[in-house]
Structure 1
Amino acid sequence: MNHSTHVFPALPTQPTSQALVSHAGLSVLTSFLNALDFRQLCEDRFSQFVPATATHRPGKILGALALSLAAGGEQASDIDQLRTAPELFGPVASDATVSRFMGRLKDQPEAFEYGFATMTRSLRTKIWAAAGPRNPARLATPANPLIIDIDASLVHVHSDKENSAGTYKGGYGFSPMIAMADYGKTNGTGEVLAVQLRPGNRGANSAKSHIEVLNQALAQLHHDFYDEHGNLQAEKILVRTDSAGSSREFLHHLQSLGIQFSTSYSLPVLRERFIRWIDEKKYWEPALDAGGGQRADAWVIDASKVLELKGYPAGTRIYLRAEPLHSGAKASLFDTDGNRVTAFLTNSPRFNVAFLDARHRARGRCENRIKTLKSTGLGKLPYWSFAANQAWADLAMFAVNLVAWLQLAVLPGGHEASVWDLKRWRYRLFSMAGKLVSGGRQRRLLIPKNAPEAQLLFQLQQNIRLLFQRWRHGELAA
């Protein structure tokens, strides 16, 4: 008789009436929202969207949707995961209540957009102030400005929705423009400042869209970026884009505001002698890798005196980078010596060529934020109404930012979780199981002490309590 050996233990499964919780790790976010006084803030901004006698208030509805998206939910009905644990998450609105709430939002989109923008700015100001020495506003200087990345992406849909349209890739859907703040490699993952939902046929190189989303992002910044007269201290900000943001109209707009820029640039067709000059690597200097060390197979150079820029803002310089062609890459007109040559423009007051190149190449981090944003709700817009989908995109942004704010203001500096993306937070912490017990007239949440991130959860809860006490007693001025 043959006996099979199982890969894993084969245990019988049966239902139980015990109070088990499958997303106990989300208690970190519920505690954080409570400490931020999220309920009252939402009541001030959104009370007009619910009846005065409604049981489920705006803060509870928006908070539950944000928790669901942070945990990996894809649509409004996924809050049923929270509904199974009322002892931990409290009473959760029904799907019909959420649907009616979203219906009221789409009827008054301007009121919701204004309320949401002022709410997130208020929270951001409070959290950045609590970050202390890691406050991005206080770290920003003209030499090391706060970087705002702007990029467009595509969101494909599989049914007809208001304002959806064909995309340049042959798909159908939307082309949102997104503005993000980059804290730097060692200071958290950064956050999303604004998401502007657009029809799918809107170009990524639209100067108008870049200006609109930039204005939304600037309105979200901490008051430390403004002087006593309310004027923007633009020299402490750098806008970084791909080549879609290199239009003269947009760069002149940035120059008029006094904002620094670093944008990729598509090289024009050059005369033969310029191509031969590019091949002479003796004039170039080694590029830097992500860790700040020199690379032996990549070079950079200031080409401003060789390549003439016409119609661009005064002080704009062009830098070139050469590195070996990737496997399978097709050589262009300029790649005559086996190296790919790319360019970027900047008006930065710094002139260290290798540093400027490394800073511009760090733009790749914004691609990760867009990927995270799509996996947190932006990738599947659930409503037909364009206004409702814009509100959903705002909620996705808020869910992503909740975790970014945790990393910035609650986690100790240098903690390994300070650079985790949201997918890792879901797997390591938010999906942690727990058990609810009662004793001494108090309910408690029990967490397995041998869970890999149990200590992280306890540390976050403790730090959130300390922050709440400091906010409550006015020790942290926003």
Structure 2
Amino acid sequence: MFDPVASDPTLSRLVDALAAAGPKALTAIRSARAETRERVWSLAGASSPDSNVQVIVDLDGVLVLAHSEKQDATATWKKTFGHHPLLGFVDHGSGGSGEPVAGLLRTGQRRQQHRRRPHHRHPTRPGPNAEEVPARAPSLIRTDSAGWTHEFVAWLAKRGRWLSYSVGMTTTDAIHHAVLKIPPAAWTVAVEPGGEIRDGAWVAELDGDCLTGWPKGMRLIVRKERPHPGAQLRFTDTDGLRLTAFATNTTGDPIAALELRHRRRARAEDRIRAARATGLRNLPLHDTAQNHIWLEIVQIALDLLAWMPMLALTGETRRWEPRRLRLRLFSAAAQIVTTARRRHLRFTTHWPWTGVITKALARLEALPNPG
């Protein structure tokens, strides 16, 4: 349907040329992705993450093993060898998937901070005194306990009204002793996505010495629950209940809702799985500059696999991951037929997802032409 596929040597020369350009090429690619994302989100309307109350960006690392000597490959924190890229994904919510907005290629060591802001544009509206204020709730940065450092949380807190955070925390001995002092009446029953009560799980907010040395306005919320099979417990866990904790600066919402919002960070694992299925299972090139370009190519592929469902698919099909999209949509047999000076794309009638494909193409054709 499109131009001939480039050969491997042609692609290799292109990657070498982009890598030789250094930061200039990366900046150009990221700017183009940001501009395209803004266009796609505006076309998607109610299906866009921009239509939600809050734009949520999940940060997570990906262990990429190296089976040969590659530049900057090191021993990882899991006692393997390779790299540990850090990616930021915009969460499309329960009705969609997600898309990458930032990526940083790192060595295998875990403790490297990510300071580059994700490339998405937060809409604004004119405010009093000609200031720009957020058109909705501040964007939320959500991460697991790997982000639990004074430096990272302080950096998030300095963003002020433009950024909120929800960061997982390790249950230290100090947190554990503080939990033991919480009166039974202070615990709130946890909730599930549908609003139903979570049997065997409770949440509470800590204060006092646990917040000493942390940024002003930080809230520490803990969850205790009956362990599911395979859950890791501490010897000191009270009554055999598993403890987890996270920090946030969001105010005005019930702590049970904040805890549910943080738990939804688990959807980032689905984004990581999609990235591995779209070229991030390994870094195929030797030089770090080349693998920087490769990481951008992977993100472009993930962008396309997120934007197409956002614009063309509905319902359950919006949550399909790359492997399912390839099997059901991208590998469908079709024939290009020219008749009456018009070109038609005909799909076989017995393919179970022909209706999904034709409806998706009709939705795409109905979109305004960007020119």
TM-score by length of 2: 0.91
Q: Check conservation: 1:125, 1:223, Cα contact below 8 A.
A: no
Taking the aligned partners of 1:176 and 1:114, their CA distance within structure 2 comes to: 18
- C-alpha RMSD of matched pairs (Å): 2.3
Taking the aligned partners of 1:91 and 1:333, their CA distance within structure 2 comes to: 61
Taking the aligned partners of 1:250 and 1:335, their CA distance within structure 2 comes to: 28
Q: Check conservation: 1:167, 1:173, Cα contact below 8 A.
A: yes
SS in 2 for 1:263: strand
Q: Check conservation: 1:304, 1:319, Cα contact below 8 A.
A: no
Taking the aligned partners of 1:458 and 1:374, their CA distance within structure 2 comes to: 29
Taking the aligned partners of 2:177 and 2:36, their CA distance within structure 1 comes to: 55
Q: In structure 2, what is the equivalent of residue 465 of structure 1?
A: 365
Q: Does 1:317 align with 2:216?
A: no
Taking the aligned partners of 2:11 and 2:331, their CA distance within structure 1 comes to: 24
One-letter amino acid of the counterpart of residue 158, structure 1:
H
Seen in structure 2, the aligned counterparts of structure 1 residues 287 and 334 have a Cα distance that, compared at 3 Å, is farther
- Aligned counterparts, 1:340-419, within 5 A: 340-412=242-314, 415-419=315-319
Larger Rg: 1
| Deviations, residues 28-58 of structure 1 (Å, cap 9, x unaligned) | xxxxxxxxxxxxxxxxxxxxxxxxxxxxxxx
Q: Check conservation: 2:283, 2:291, Cα contact below 8 A.
A: yes
| Deviations, residues 184-239 of structure 1 (Å, cap 9, x unaligned) | 212x11211111111112x2x43xx2323xx1x0xx22351586989684952111
Q: Check conservation: 2:48, 2:92, Cα contact below 8 A.
A: no
Taking the aligned partners of 1:302 and 1:461, their CA distance within structure 2 comes to: 49
Taking the aligned partners of 1:132 and 1:275, their CA distance within structure 2 comes to: 44
Q: 1:299 aligns with which of 185, 202, 216?
A: 202
Q: In structure 2, what is the equivalent of residue 265 of structure 1?
A: 169
Taking the aligned partners of 1:272 and 1:364, their CA distance within structure 2 comes to: 24
Q: Does 1:222 align with 2:135?
A: no
Q: In structure 1, what is the equivalent of residue 104 of structure 2?
A: 196
Q: Check conservation: 1:334, 1:341, Cα contact below 8 A.
A: no
Q: Does 1:119 align with 2:119?
A: no
Taking the aligned partners of 1:367 and 1:263, their CA distance within structure 2 comes to: 16
One-letter amino acid of the counterpart of residue 257, structure 1:
R
Taking the aligned partners of 1:277 and 1:192, their CA distance within structure 2 comes to: 41
Post-superposition offset of 1:333: 4.5
One-letter amino acid of the counterpart of residue 422, structure 1:
P
SS in 1 for 2:181: helix
Taking the aligned partners of 1:273 and 1:252, their CA distance within structure 2 comes to: 25
One-letter amino acid of the counterpart of residue 359, structure 1:
R
Q: Check conservation: 1:210, 1:245, Cα contact below 8 A.
A: no
Post-superposition offset of 1:392: 1.1
Q: Check conservation: 2:58, 2:91, Cα contact below 8 A.
A: yes
- Aligned counterparts, 1:42-441, within 5 A: 88-140=1-53, 145-186=54-95, 188-201=96-109, 203=110, 205-206=111-112, 209-212=113-116, 215=117, 217=118, 220-222=119-121, 224-225=123-124, 233=134, 236-258=138-160, 259-270=163-174, 274=178, 276-277=180-181, 281-304=184-207, 308-412=210-314, 415-441=315-341
Seen in structure 2, the aligned counterparts of structure 1 residues 329 and 130 have a Cα distance that, compared at 3 Å, is closer
Post-superposition offset of 1:376: 0.4
One-letter amino acid of the counterpart of residue 110, structure 1:
P
Specify every segment of 5 or more residues in structure 1 that has no aligned partner in the other structure, as ranges.
1-87, 473-478
Taking the aligned partners of 2:176 and 2:282, their CA distance within structure 1 comes to: 48
Taking the aligned partners of 1:210 and 1:107, their CA distance within structure 2 comes to: 23
Q: In structure 2, what is the equivalent of residue 67 of structure 1?
A: none
SS in 2 for 1:92: coil
One-letter amino acid of the counterpart of residue 450, structure 1:
H
Seen in structure 2, the aligned counterparts of structure 1 residues 148 and 334 have a Cα distance that, compared at 3 Å, is farther
Taking the aligned partners of 1:189 and 1:442, their CA distance within structure 2 comes to: 36
Higher relative contact order (CA closer than 8 Å, sequence separation 6+): 1
The share of aligned pairs that are identical, in percent, is 32
Post-superposition offset of 1:317: 0.9
Taking the aligned partners of 1:134 and 1:441, their CA distance within structure 2 comes to: 36
Q: Check conservation: 1:150, 1:210, Cα contact below 8 A.
A: no
Taking the aligned partners of 2:271 and 2:213, their CA distance within structure 1 comes to: 33
TM-score by length of 1: 0.72
SS in 2 for 1:130: helix
Q: Check conservation: 1:225, 1:236, Cα contact below 8 A.
A: no
Seen in structure 2, the aligned counterparts of structure 1 residues 221 and 104 have a Cα distance that, compared at 3 Å, is same
Q: Check conservation: 1:243, 1:265, Cα contact below 8 A.
A: yes
Taking the aligned partners of 1:312 and 1:261, their CA distance within structure 2 comes to: 14
Q: Which moved more, 1:167-176 or 1:440-449?
A: 440-449
Taking the aligned partners of 1:388 and 1:272, their CA distance within structure 2 comes to: 46
Taking the aligned partners of 1:111 and 1:194, their CA distance within structure 2 comes to: 16
Post-superposition offset of 1:328: 4.0
Q: Check conservation: 2:87, 2:103, Cα contact below 8 A.
A: yes
Seen in structure 2, the aligned counterparts of structure 1 residues 271 and 369 have a Cα distance that, compared at 3 Å, is closer
Specify every segment of 5 or more residues in structure 2 that has no aligned partner in the other structure, as ranges.
none
One-letter amino acid of the counterpart of residue 319, structure 1:
I
One-letter amino acid of the counterpart of residue 314, structure 1:
K
